[in-house]
Structure 1
Amino acid sequence: MSLESDVADLWQRYDDGLTAADTDQDDRAVLERFLEALEAGEIRAAEPDGEDWVVNEWVKQGILLNFGLRETEAREYGGVTYHDVLPLRATGDLGHRGTRNTPDGTVIRRGAYVGSDAIMMSPSFVNIGAHVGDGTLVDSCDTVGSCAQIGANVKLGANTLIGGVLEPVEDDPVIVEDNVSLGAGCRVTSGFRVGENSIVGENTLLTPRIPVYDLVEEEVIFGELPADRRAFTRFVESSVGEHDLFDGGAFKPAVVATHVEEETLEASEKEDILRDN
């Protein structure tokens, strides 16, 4: 049987009431094989399909099974005891592929994939099911949430939060496509998709609930920043009128997107210097 069919069988039994105490050696072997496949990049929670993305619901189910069918245990990391159902990911393979992870707080949970020639600065955290592509920089104080899909040659600026979307299993995770640069303090949540080659200014919030004013196509869109855009936060007038608590109307956050300018691209290429030192 394939890994997908094994997970489907285990999911059905879990739905019928299977608990961690009921699992046998074969069940636990399926859970381990599943995590190993995630870490090797052989399976993904979502993957590109032409110009679109497809969610692999069975992969999300496998992640949920690893929470539901494991017991919380005391574990050690950096001399500190913590309690979790999963250990941290072994990182012995990273150096062989040219990937760097600095000490004192670089945490990769089991079931996470980190590509070749990537850089993880401490403190940073990559959660189960996340996929971090080749040549990507995960900077200090960054979080990559469960199932988030980060492309190749992406720069996540310091203190960037990439949200996790694990449930419902059919929902899109956060997707950041190839060659994207997110400025320090950005937040990308709730299945938002950032198109390739885009550059996003510092402290920009990208979520389906905030409109994107795309000045290139002259339209307002939600849940996506198209490819080849330069985006930044602006505040637009809200429907909330004058109130006793404040003078004048209220404003709400929005995102403005324009063409990526050539000089902006040239500036972003300076990141290569960091990788060579």
Structure 2
Amino acid sequence: MSMSTLETEIDELWERKQNGEIDADSAGEDALDTLEAFLSALEDGEIRAAAKTDGEWEANQWVKQGILLNFGLRENQAYEYGNVDHYDVLPLRETDDLGARGTRNTPDGTTIRRGAYLGSDCIMMSPSFVNIGAHIGDGTLVDSCDTVGSCAQIGENVKLGANTLIGGVLEPVESAPVIVEDNVSLGAGCRVTSGFVVGENSVVGENTLLTPRIPVYDLVEEEVLYGELPANRRAFTRFVESSVSDHDLFEGGAYKPAVVATDLETETLEATEREDALRE
């Protein structure tokens, strides 16, 4: 099936679902065949939930609609995963194709949901989880206890430190998901949520929360940003004075979190060197 035909069929199913003409009980074989072709296209990297156009990331709305249809037009049922039975509307992703591409998923807890894409030479450490619609670029490390949410777009040669959370943005369909561009290193315990964009080649310190509600003080361009970390930055959490600092309940002042972004050092960082050594 061509991608243009697939898009047309997803659009038609979406309209029927919105008009109440079809649901999980009435979806026939043709509809389910379309949903299966859609999931395969996601897993093959032929379609993505977001794309960069003229320097800006935008959601591919019909792709996000297709993901939602896979929840709305499928029955909840039992699946077997190893020795564990679980109930869901989607099975887990088959992983037979990963080995030929040099991608590894270690045992005892690496979970990849149907409709997720993993590139070549990726590493998934256990336990970790990649949700439907997520796109993991070539050479990326998903470390232990990491979660990559639905539709998140992770670039090539990215390092997600242990216990990192990449949030999912499935609805509204017009909203772009979380984006982590190429060659980014996120320290252990980082959180990236609500469609935040992490620019390429950036290094983010441990336990940093990146969300549009928290300001980024870019000391390179001397501006305050929301929802993005520019490319080629080194970022870390600091606390700045809060507007409630004069409140009687906060003796000595209150503070709110902020992210400080500085020039990225030109030399290879110690963390990057360590990860490269582990791969050799």
Instruction: Please give the secondary structure, in 2, of the residue aligned with 1:263.
Output: coil
1:254 aligns with 2:258: yes
Determine if contact 2:92/2:112 at 8 Å carries over to the other structure: yes
- Deviation string for 1:12-39 (max 9, x for gaps)? 1111111111111111100000000000
Residue 15 of structure 2: aligned partner = 12
Task: Provide structure 2 residue ranges, at least 5 long, that are not aligned to the other structure.
Answer: none
Residue 102 of structure 1: aligned partner = 106
1:47 aligns with 2:51: yes
Instruction: Please give the secondary structure, in 2, of the residue aligned with 1:268.
Output: helix
Instruction: Please give the secondary structure, in 2, of the residue aligned with 1:62.
Output: helix
1:154 aligns with 2:193: no
Instruction: Please give the secondary structure, in 1, of the residue aligned with 2:239.
Output: strand
Residue 130 of structure 1: aligned partner = 134
Which whole-Å CA distance do the structure 2 matches of 1:245 and 1:36 have between them? 55
Which whole-Å CA distance do the structure 2 matches of 1:275 and 1:268 have between them? 11
> Percent sequence identity over matched residues?
76
Instruction: Please give the secondary structure, in 1, of the residue aligned with 2:100.
Output: helix
Residue 188 of structure 1: aligned partner = 192
1:45, distance to aligned residue in structure 2 (A): 0.2
Which TM-score applies when normalising by structure 1?
Answer: 0.97
Task: Provide structure 1 residue ranges, at least 5 long, that are not aligned to the other structure.
Answer: none
Residue 85 of structure 2: aligned partner = 81
Determine if contact 2:145/2:162 at 8 Å carries over to the other structure: yes
1:267, distance to aligned residue in structure 2 (A): 4.8
Instruction: Please give the secondary structure, in 2, of the residue aligned with 1:184.
Output: coil
Q: Which amino acid aligns with 2:9?
A: D
1:232 aligns with 2:236: yes
Which whole-Å CA distance do the structure 1 matches of 2:274 and 2:190 have between them? 20
Q: Which amino acid aligns with 1:212?
A: V
**Which of the numbers 42, 49, 54 marks the counterpart of 1:38?**
42
Which TM-score applies when normalising by structure 2?
Answer: 0.96
1:242, distance to aligned residue in structure 2 (A): 3.2
**Which of the numbers 259, 268, 271 marks the counterpart of 2:272?**
268
Give the number of equivalent residue pairs.
Answer: 276
1:139 aligns with 2:166: no
Cα root mean square deviation, aligned: 1.1
1:171 aligns with 2:153: no
Which whole-Å CA distance do the structure 2 matches of 1:190 and 1:53 have between them? 13
Q: Which amino acid aligns with 1:7?
A: I
